[in-house]
Amino acid sequence: MTKSARRQRDRSRHGRARPGFAHSTTQAAHPPERNNDALFLELLDMRADLFTDIVAPTLCHEDLNPNTLVLDMREGRPALAWVLDFESAWASTGESDLARLELWWMSAGAAVREGYLEVAPIAAGYAATRPLLQLLWCLEYAQFHNAAEDQAVVHHVCDELGIAHI
């Protein structure tokens, strides 16, 4: 199901789309034991001190992944040429998109961080905020990504945060 189709379905269920989460935790199709909104909000509240140094929000793509990046080869190295699909853009920390990219094996590694550092510094507390930012993606899309590889990524993030697997 495309992101656009999911949003349309959500609007028909809730009368509006909910930023940050694709699905309400109160709908019948979503079991109460997986109350993703409450879990994420509880973790944010418990770790609010991690975000006290944010001076101003940054425009973030919110769905950066290898499928939304178009690369060109320049001097024998891949270089970002285009970014596609801005329908989920929102204001977040500057590292929100970096955290999401670091979830994917195709875009994780030194090259992504080096590219990020060319345009902005990485916040001192990023190592602590990264798994929380990644959890947002995991909670939003966990019910759509049930392949073993996707579940391994979700479980790794949960382990880093010290929470039960979702």
pLDDT for residue 106: 64
Q: Where are the alpha helices (DSSP H) in the chain?
A: 3-14, 36-46, 96-101, 110-119, 126-141, 148-161
Q: CA–CA separation, 70 vs 132, rounded Å?
A: 27
34 pLDDT tier (thresholds 50, 70, 90) = low
Helical packing angle, 126-141 and 148-161, nearest 10°: 140
What number is the average pLDDT over the span 107-127? 85
Amino acid at 19: P
Q: What value does the mean pLDDT take over residues 145-157? A: 84
Distance of alpha carbon 137 from its chain centroid, rounded? 4
Confidence of residue 39 (pLDDT cuts 50, 70, 90): confident
Q: Which fold has domain 40-161?
A: Aminoglycoside 3'-phosphotransferase; Chain: A, domain 2 (3.90.1200)
Instruction: State the pLDDT at residue 21.
Output: 31
Give the whole-number percent of the chain exceeding pLDDT 70: 76
Regarding predicted confidence, which is higher, 45 or 100?
A: 45
**DSSP helix/strand/coil, 27:** coil
Entry pTM: 0.68
- The token pair that represents 152 in the structure block: 């391994």
Q: Indicate whether 129 pLDDT > 80.
A: yes
Structure tokens at 133: 């930012």
* Domain spans in the chain, listed from the N-terminal domain onward: 40-161
Report the share of the chain in percent with pLDDT over 90. Answer: 23
